[in-house]
Structure 1
Amino acid sequence: MRKYTVLFFLIMFMIGTDTFLISPLLPTLQTQFGVSTSIAGWMLGAYTLGSAVFALIAGPLSDGWNRRTVLLSGLLGFSVATILCGFADSFWTMCLFRFLAGISAAFTAPQVWASIPAIMPASQISKTMGIAFSGLAASQAFGVPIGSWLATAHWSVPFWTIGIASFLLAIVIFYTLPDIKPSVQKDERTSILRRYVPLITSRKARGGFFAYLLLHLGCGTAFAFVGKWMADQFELPVGQIGTVMIFLGLGNLLGSTVSAYASQKLGHAKAVAAGMALLLALYVVMPHLASLPGVTIVYFIICTILGIIFPIVMGALTSLNSSIRGTISSLANATMNGANTLGAWAAGILYVQLGGYSSIGIFSGICLALSLGTFLSSGVLGRNSPTSGKG
C-alpha cells in the first residue's frame, strides 16, 4: 500500500509544480513573447481557467468510469500539454497549451482523492489523504524553485522536465495501480449532475463557496504577480526568485502540519478569523517593505497562515453534505481555479493601471475582509449539522 501513497504524492507534486511554475517565470516569458504586463498574467490564467471549467464536469462524469483509466488519460494529456508549453513560439500558443494542461489536470487531480478511499485500508485513508495534500505544499517548497533554477538554462527546460517526468510517472501507474471500477449503477450515471442541487439550494453552502471564492481571489491575485514584482522591485533574476519561493512553500508546508493543532486549540471559526485578519494586514503592508529579507519573512508568514486555514475551510465545506463530498471537492477545485483565473487578470490591470503591487495588496486585503465576513455570516465554520437542503 505504501507504493500507492508514493504515487499519489508524486501526482499531486507534479500538478502543483506545473500550476505554480508560471509565477516566477512570468518576467522571463513576458520578455520572450513581447507582451504587455497587463495581459501577461493570462499565461497563468489560461491553465486555471481550463482546470476551473472542466473540474465542474470531470468529477461527476468520472464517477461512472474506471478511475485508473481516467487518471492515466488525464496524466498523459497533462504530460503532452506541458511538453508542448516548452515549444510555444508565441503568447497565444503558450496560453493554448496551458489551457490544455489545465483541462488535463482537472481530470487527474480529482481521481487521486476519489481513488484513495477505494484502494487504501480504512485505517490508512486519512494518512494517505494528508500525504497526497502535502504533495501540493512540497511543490511550492521544492518543485517551483527547482523549475526556476532549470529556467536559468532556458525557459523551456522546466516544462520539458515536468512533462517527461509526468509521462514516466504514467508508465509506472499503468503497471502499478489496479482497476478502480465505478461504484454507481448505469441508470444512476445520467443524474450525477443533480448532486449539485443540494449545494445550490443551501444558503450555508452558497455563502461558504462565495467566501471561498473571495479567499482565493485575494490570495491568487497577490501570488500571480509576486515574481514580477520581485523582479522589478529588487532586480532579481529568475533563479533568485525561485530561491525566495522555497520559503513560501516551506511556510505552506509548516502551516499544513500545524493546522489540526490550531483548529483544536482555537476552534474552526476563531482560527480562520484570526488568520484572515492577520493576512489582511500583511498583504496591505508587504508591498511597502524596502528589503528583500523583510518581504521574504512576511510572505513566509502569509503562506504559513494559508497552510493553516485552507485545510480548515476545506473540512468545513466537505462537511456540508456527507453524501456528495466528491461533488463538493470538484466544485471547490473549480472555485479555486476560477478565482485564480480572475486574480491573474485583475493583477495585470492593477499592477499597470493602479499603482503597482501596492494596489494588489489593497485589493487582496478587501477580498479577505469580505471573505471573512461571508464565512462568519454564513455559519459554515460553525458546529451546525451538515446541510442537505436549504440552509
Structure 2
Amino acid sequence: MRNYTALFFLIMFMIGTDTFLISPLLPTLQMQFGVSTDIAGWMLGAYTLGSAVFALIAGPLSDGWNRRTVLLCGLVGFSVSTILCGFAASFWTMCLFRLLAGVSAAFTAPQVWASIPAVMPAARISKTMGIAFTGLAASQALGVPIGSWLATAHWSVPFWTIGAASLLLTGFAFYLLPDIKPILRKGERRSILHRYVPLLTSGKARSGFLAYLLLHLGSGTAFAFAGKWMADRFGLPIGQIGTVMMFLGFGTLLGSTLSAYAVRKLGHASAVAAGMTLLIALYAVMPHLTRLSAVTVIYLIIFATLGIIFPIVMGALTSLNASIRGTISSLANATMNGANTLGAWIAGLLYVNFGGYSSIGIFSAVCLALSLGMFLFGGLMERNAARTEQESASAS
C-alpha cells in the first residue's frame, strides 16, 4: 500500500512541477525566443489551455475505460512532450509542446484521484488523497526551485529532467498498478454531456464554479508574471527567482496543513471570507513593496492562505452531487486551468500596457472580491457547512 501512496504522490509532484515551471523560466525563455512580453505568457497558457479543454472530456470519458491504461498512456504522452520542450527551437514549437503536455496531464491527473479508492483500503483513502494533494504543494516548494536551479546550466535541462523522471515513473506504474476496469450497470447512460446536466441545472453549482473561476483567475494572473516582475524590479537571476518560488510552495504546504484547523475554529464560510479578504488586501499592496524580503514574506502568506482556502472550496464543490464527483473534479480542473490560461494572457496585457505589476495586483484583488461575494451569496459555503454538521451529528 505504501508503494501506491508513493506512486500517486510522485505523479502529482511531476505534474505540479511541470505546470508551474514556466513562471520562473519566463524571463529566460522570452530572451531565448525573442518574443515580446505581452505574448510570452502563452508559453504558460498553452499548457493550461490544453489541460483545461481536454479535462472536460478526459474525466467523464475515462470512467468507461481501464484507468490503469489511461494513466499509463497519459504519463507516456506527458513524458515525451515535456522532453520535447527542451528541444523547442522557437516560441511556437514551445507552445505546441506545452499544449501537448497539458493535454496529457488532463488524462493523467484525474486517474490518480479516481484510482485511489479502487486500490486503497477504505480506512486509508482519505490519507492517501491528502498525500497526493501534498505532491502538488511539494512541487511548488521543491520541484519548481530545483527546476530553476537546473536551468542555470541551460534552460532545457529542467524539461529533460522532468520528462526522463516521468518515464521512469511510468515503468514503476506499469509494474505496480493492477487493471482498474469500470463497473457499468446494464443500460447505464454513458453520455459525457449527460454527466454535466445536474451541474448545469443547479444554481448553487453555477455560482460555485463561477466563484472558483474568479478565485483562480485572480491568483493565476498574479502568479503568471511573478518571475518576470521580480527580474525587472529587483534584478534577480533565474536561480534566485527559484529560491523565492520555494517560499510559495512552503506556504501552500503550510496552508493545506492548517486548512482543517481553520474550519474547526472558524467554520467553512468564515474561513473562506477571512482568507479571501486578506488576499484582496495583499494583492493590492504587494506590487508597491520595495524590499525583496517583504515581497517574499507576503508571497508566503498569500500561498499559505490559498492553501487553506482551496481544500475548503473543493470540498464544497464535490459535495454538490456525490454521484458525479469524478465529473465535478474534472470540471474543477478545467475551470482552474482555463482561468490560469486567461490569466496568463491578461497578465501580459496589463504588465505591458497598464502600469506593470501594480495593475495586475488591482485586477487580482477585484477578481477575489467578486469571487468572495459569489461564494457567500451563492449558498455554496452554507451548503457544505450544513453537510459537515450533519455528518458530525450522525457520527456522534
TM-score (norm. length: structure 2): 0.96
Identity of matched residues, %: 81
| Mean Cα deviation higher: 73-82 or 191-200 | 191-200
Q: Name the residue aligned to 1:149.
A: 149
Could you tell me how far apart the structure 1 residues matched to 2:186 and 2:145 are? 46
Could you tell me how far apart the structure 2 residues matched to 1:364 and 1:184 are? 44
Contact map agreement 1:8 1:132 (CA 8 A) in 2: yes
Q: Residues 283-324 of structure 1: CA distance to partner in whole angstroms, max 9, x if unpaired? A: 000000000000000000000000000000000000011111
Instruction: Measure how far apart 1:187 and its partner are.
Output: 4.5
Q: Name the residue aligned to 1:264.
A: 264
Instruction: Measure how far apart 1:183 and its partner are.
Output: 1.9
Q: Name the residue aligned to 1:250.
A: 250
Instruction: Measure how far apart 1:168 and its partner are.
Output: 0.4
Q: Name the residue aligned to 1:101.
A: 101
Contact map agreement 2:214 2:367 (CA 8 A) in 1: yes
Could you tell me how far apart the structure 2 residues matched to 1:67 and 1:139 are? 24
Instruction: Measure how far apart 1:185 and its partner are.
Output: 4.2
Instruction: Measure how far apart 1:207 and its partner are.
Output: 0.1
Q: Name the residue aligned to 1:82.
A: 82
Instruction: Measure how far apart 1:374 and its partner are.
Output: 0.6
Paired residue type of 2:238: V
Paired residue type of 2:89: D
1:8-27 paired onto structure 2 within 5 Å = 8-27=8-27
Instruction: Measure how far apart 1:383 and its partner are.
Output: 3.4
Could you tell me how far apart the structure 2 residues matched to 1:291 and 1:71 are? 45
The 3-state SS of whatever aligns with 1:65 is: coil
Q: Residues 49-84 of structure 1: CA distance to partner in whole angstroms, max 9, x if unpaired? A: 000000000000100100000000000000000000
Contact map agreement 1:269 1:382 (CA 8 A) in 2: yes
Paired residue type of 1:339: A
Paired residue type of 1:281: A
The 3-state SS of whatever aligns with 1:382 is: helix
Runs of 4 or more, structure 1, over 3 Å off, are: 383-386
Q: Name the residue aligned to 1:383.
A: 383
Task: Sort the Cα spacing of 1:289 and 1:178 in 2 relative to 1 into closer, same or farther, 3 A.
Answer: same
Paired residue type of 1:219: S
Unpaired runs of at least 5, structure 1: 387-391
Q: Name the residue aligned to 1:114.
A: 114
Could you tell me how far apart the structure 2 residues matched to 1:222 and 1:58 are? 28
Could you tell me how far apart the structure 1 residues matched to 2:21 and 2:251 are? 17
The 3-state SS of whatever aligns with 1:190 is: coil
Could you tell me how far apart the structure 2 residues matched to 1:189 and 1:33 are? 48
Contact map agreement 1:64 1:189 (CA 8 A) in 2: no
Contact map agreement 1:77 1:101 (CA 8 A) in 2: yes
The 3-state SS of whatever aligns with 2:335 is: helix
1:165-204 paired onto structure 2 within 5 Å = 165-185=165-185, 187-188=187-188, 190-204=190-204
1:1-391 paired onto structure 2 within 5 Å = 1-185=1-185, 187-188=187-188, 190-383=190-383
Contact map agreement 1:23 1:225 (CA 8 A) in 2: yes
Q: Name the residue aligned to 1:389.
A: none
Could you tell me how far apart the structure 2 residues matched to 1:378 and 1:360 are? 26
Task: Sort the Cα spacing of 1:187 and 1:98 in 2 relative to 1 into closer, same or farther, 3 A.
Answer: farther
Instruction: Measure how far apart 1:186 and its partner are.
Output: 7.1
Could you tell me how far apart the structure 2 residues matched to 1:231 and 1:285 are? 19
Q: Name the residue aligned to 2:394.
A: none
Could you tell me how far apart the structure 1 residues matched to 2:305 and 2:231 are? 25
Task: Sort the Cα spacing of 1:89 and 1:186 in 2 relative to 1 into closer, same or farther, 3 A.
Answer: farther
Contact map agreement 2:63 2:182 (CA 8 A) in 1: yes
Q: Supply the RMSD in Å over aligned alpha carbons.
A: 1.0
TM-score (norm. length: structure 1): 0.98
Unpaired runs of at least 5, structure 2: 388-396
Could you tell me how far apart the structure 2 residues matched to 1:31 and 1:276 are? 35
Paired residue type of 1:118: A
Instruction: Measure how far apart 1:264 and its partner are.
Output: 1.1
Contact map agreement 1:277 1:369 (CA 8 A) in 2: yes
Could you tell me how far apart the structure 2 residues matched to 1:129 and 1:368 are? 27
Instruction: Measure how far apart 1:195 and its partner are.
Output: 1.2
Paired residue type of 1:105: A
Instruction: Measure how far apart 1:192 and its partner are.
Output: 4.0
The 3-state SS of whatever aligns with 1:188 is: coil
Q: How many residues align?
A: 386
Contact map agreement 1:63 1:184 (CA 8 A) in 2: no
